[in-house]
Amino acid sequence: MRFANNFPYGRAPFWLLVIAVVSVIVRVATAHRPEARPDLVMVTHTEAQFDAYRKAIPRFEREHGVKVQLQFANWASLQARLQNAILADTEVPDLSEVLEGALGFFTRGPIEDFGLLDLTDRLHADGLDQRLVQSRLSVWSARGRVYALPHDVHPVMLAYRRDLVEALGIDVSKLDTWDKFVEVGRQVSRDLNGDGIVDRYMLDMRYDGNWTLQILMFQQGGQLFDQQGDVAFATEETAQLIRWYIEQVRGPHRIGYECGWGQPVVKAMTDGLVLFQWAPDWRSWVLANEAPDLAGKMALMPMPAWTPGGRRTSTWGGTGLMIMKQTRHPELAWQLAKYLYFDTADLGERFRATNILPALRDAWKLPEFDAPFPYYSNQRIGRMYADLAPETPPVYSSPVDEAARTGLDRAFNRSAAYYAQHGEAGLLDAIRANLAEAAEDVRRLAGREKILAKGKP
Amino acid sequence: MINSVAQRPSRPQGRPRYKGKAPYVFLSPYVVLTAVFFAVPFFNAIMLAFYETNGPRSRAFVGLANFVFLFRDSTFRRALLNTTVFALVSVFLQLPLSMALALLLNAGAARVKGFFRLVFFSPNLVGQVLVGILFSVLFTPRYGLVNRGFQLVLHWGLETRWLSDPRFIMPAIVLASLWLWVGFNMIYFLAALQTVDKTLQEAARIDGANPWQIFWHVTLPSMRHVVVFVVIMSVIGSYQLFELPLTLLSESYGFGANDAGLTLITYLNYRAFRAGDLGLGSAVGWVVAVIIFFISLIQIRLGRVAEED
């Protein structure tokens, strides 16, 4: 105390100094030493995949004598964390699964700055590129090189209330084109109790276009970007599609109703408000889990084609496995990626747990893919998806991928607003103009990418 | 000159003047922390606005191109328009409602006052993200509470797509923000009302002023400092609107159909962190800062003019 009183700047500064010194000593003394980083760190974003990998990884660890740490993170936070880690140049996992559309962020700027390992030569050397569904490599490619392994195919079918559809006398085998589907849809989309509100719709369709419009565009052969990465959605076919779509969700004889997401979808399907629902392989599992009361009342059918004999499927979503350039063990990471994605011993069981069709065609021969699925009226849904998988359209990636998706939606919504004001007159011209403007906006953004990559390959 | 030096007031007596390095040593933690966490990022952000970046590895100097891009970008202009509309709604709808609630509560019994003060303020305790999630459920077409309520009362609105029809997106954001913020601003007004001199109001009443005249000519001028403060804070808050539209319109990253829900900060977040263009994001940040600065300046000036009148 006497020392405090004699401190030349007074007692308060003395005690502040003491607190500061003690705090530093305590902090240093109690600091935990970081655990040694395992040989590989991998992150996934779905619980089903996390469980499957957790079971599979011990065998890999034994066979290679290494330690692998598996982490789980919500897809949105995983993507944000990865993006921020790359922006800040901090530590990232060795391998990470990301959702379709995410690749664009990681392939901005000069190629040498990409934070991802180029897998093209490895895929080719192991002959895997020939064993995978070719269209899925497009999703995970940038500037002609592959930067992630495709986990899945995600062909799209339509799930429907079989009991209600049969009661209405609809033969789904005859709904093989969209013209026929709409014709039937107009008959069944009705106000049943005379209160002026439609009580039954044919199909769940987003009011603002969004993913439903994109599924239909991909089915038609349309693209957001072409193989060279140039904006490709402002075409006559897309303009015609938007006009058709507006009719189905905004027209006087509309057949589409937006159910939303999660429980509202379950409620709409349970109530029979909507008869048909979009069902890529992953969503067939989601529906079965979220609406268990509909077990045995549901069934799947291929999407109607745009022209007789045309493509009966599309694609929605996708997961890819990236290997980060920062990894200390690129070869080991590649071995793990191949083991998890292409070891057929586990793929059958994984399909049974998720309904997700792997991109590796050899796996579809496994008995699990021919098993009847009680929820969908005992249909062999694995075989149905596998039969459609080769038709799955490619989806090309770009660093301005999200801007293109937003631009397409903007063109759709402006066109729908025009339709609400002017009706059919001049609609197609308005759609063409809106598409051209949206495409120009995306091109201007893409032009900024070229500034960044200027002078570099 | 000699005279002026002679007239300079002398340093107060009794406070010792330290010589040497010690004062600087004691000040250094603050100076270092401020430099590291404020000054360096501040100047870095200024510089960043003139670059296009891809993380720390590559950047290209683009001069004013980021700003030129912004003002040519129809999406940015839409964000600016939406945010301004929201700010105007905040000032002309939200604040009058807050004031009305404050007046009602101020006139009520003390026990009731405390209860309702808590009730109206409580939405603010849960935060914008939770309110966004809550309202995205309430606004569900056909099944949502808001839609059902409107259908029951007005025979309209059962299928209104609050969050996917561009005509309804901004009204939906406004409705959610009213629920969130009306009670918050009410607290300020209520506190100010309790400081208004009752004798002035009484004198006006004796002179024959009606309640509206008392409010307009006596009550409101007496609380003008608080009103100016709340208006400025509301406008600043409106221009920083982010979490609420982002969670309400999460499927479209806060844009909404036809960009109807896009705000300036959502645009900044999208460009900087989702598209990875930190330079453009920084340019948006500076534009927002300048807008807020000038609007605040105008409001402070107007407040002074009102005070002088």
Please, what are the domains in chain B? 21-63 (no CATH), 74-308 (1.10.3720.10)
Closest CA of chain B from A419, distance in Å? 14
Residues of A in contact with B277 (CB under 8 A): 448
B161 in A contact zone (CB under 8 Å): yes
Top-confidence residue, B147 or B4: B147
Q: What is the pLDDT of residue B6?
A: 45
Dihedral (Cα; B171, B176, B182, B187), 10-degree rounding: -160
Residues of A in contact with B74 (CB under 8 A): 437, 441
Which of helix, strand or coil describes residue A225? strand
Q: Considering only CA atoms, which of A32, A9, A45, A320 is closest in space to residue B27?
A: A9
Lowest-pLDDT range of A61-65, B81-85, B141-145: B141-145
In which band, very low, low, confident or very high, does the pLDDT at B284 lie, cut at 50, 70 and 90? very high
Lowest-pLDDT range of A367-371, B25-29, B90-94, B194-198: B25-29
CB contact under 8 A, A264 and B275: no
CB contact under 8 A, B60 and A273: no
Q: Which residue of chain A comes nearest to B55, CA vs CA?
A: A87
- Average pLDDT score over chain A: 92
Lowest-pLDDT range of A175-184, A195-204, A230-239, B51-60: B51-60
Domains in chain A, CATH or no CATH each:
1-31 (no CATH), 41-152+318-369 (3.40.190.10), 156-205+255-312 (3.40.190.10), 208-250+399-457 (no CATH)
CB contact under 8 A, B165 and A208: yes
Instruction: Locate B264 and state its tokens.
Output: 């300036």
Closest CA of chain A from B273, distance in Å? 7
Average pLDDT score over residue span B100-107:
90
Residues of A in contact with B65 (CB under 8 A): 451
Lowest-pLDDT range of A189-198, A338-347, A447-456, B59-68: A447-456
Q: What is the pLDDT of residue B208?
A: 93
Q: Considering only CA atoms, which of A84, A98, A15, A114 is closest in space to residue A49?
A: A98
CB contact under 8 A, B159 and A197: yes
What's the rounded Cα separation, in Å, for the pair A106 and B258?
A: 27
B99 in A contact zone (CB under 8 Å): no
Q: What is the pLDDT of residue B165?
A: 92
A127 in B contact zone (CB under 8 Å): no
Indicate the helix (H) or strand (E) that contains A305.
none
Top-confidence residue, A331 or A196: A331
Q: What is the pTM of this model?
A: 0.87
In this complex, which of B52, B141, B143 lies closest to A258 when CB atoms are compared? B141
Over 90: is that where the pLDDT of B275 sits?
no
Interface mutation target, options A250, A270, A413, chain B, most CBs of B under 10 Å: A413
Q: Which residues, listed in sequence order, are joined to residue A44 by a DSSP beta bridge?
A: A72
B64 in A contact zone (CB under 8 Å): no
Q: What is the pLDDT of residue A348?
A: 92
Average pLDDT score over residue span A5-19:
85
Residues 6+ apart with CB under 8 A from B50: B61, B62, B63, B64, B66, B279
Residues 6+ apart with CB under 8 A from A285: A354, A355, A356
Over 70: is that where the pLDDT of B16 sits?
no
Instruction: Locate A281 and state its tokens.
Output: 């392989």
A88 in B contact zone (CB under 8 Å): yes
In which band, very low, low, confident or very high, does the pLDDT at B14 lie, cut at 50, 70 and 90? low
CB contact under 8 A, A417 and B274: no
Q: What is the pLDDT of residue B12?
A: 54
- What is the value of ipTM here, to two decimals? 0.83
What strand order describes the sheet that includes A274-280? A256-257, A201-204, A274-280, A156-161, A298-302
Q: Which residue of chain A comes nearest to B161, CA vs CA?
A: A207
Average pLDDT score over residue span A295-307:
98
User: For A235, phi and psi rounded to 5 degrees?
Assistant: -120, 165
Indicate the helix (H) or strand (E) that contains A226.
none
Scan for tokens 């003395």, then name that residue.
A14
Average pLDDT score over residue span B39-57:
87
CA B112 to chain centre: 29
Q: Which residue of chain B comes nearest to A20, CA vs CA?
A: B29
Residues of A in contact with B283 (CB under 8 A): none
In which band, very low, low, confident or very high, does the pLDDT at B19 lie, cut at 50, 70 and 90? low
Top-confidence residue, A449 or B11: A449
In which band, very low, low, confident or very high, does the pLDDT at A435 lie, cut at 50, 70 and 90? very high
Q: Above pLDDT 90, what percent of chain A? A: 76
CB contact under 8 A, A400 and B275: yes
Q: What is the pLDDT of residue B3?
A: 45
Instruction: Express each pLDDT in B207-217 by its tens digit.
Output: 999 999 999 99
Residues of B in contact with A261 (CB under 8 A): 251
A197 in B contact zone (CB under 8 Å): yes
CB contact under 8 A, A410 and B62: no
Q: What is the pLDDT of residue A86?
A: 81
Q: What is the pLDDT of residue A456?
A: 41
CB contact under 8 A, B273 and A84: yes
Cα A316–Cα A319–Cα A325 angle in degrees, nearest 5 = 140
Scan for tokens 């009661």, then name that residue.
A167
Interface mutation target, options B19, B135, B161, B165, chain A, most CBs of A under 10 Å: B165
Over 90: is that where the pLDDT of A346 sits?
no
CB contact under 8 A, A206 and B258: no
In which band, very low, low, confident or very high, does the pLDDT at B1 lie, cut at 50, 70 and 90? very low
B170 in A contact zone (CB under 8 Å): no
CB contact under 8 A, A206 and B22: no
Burial per residue of A429-455, b for 16 or more beta-carbon CB atoms within 10 angstroms, e otherwise: ebbbbbbeebbebbbebbebbeebbee
Over 70: is that where the pLDDT of A319 sits?
yes
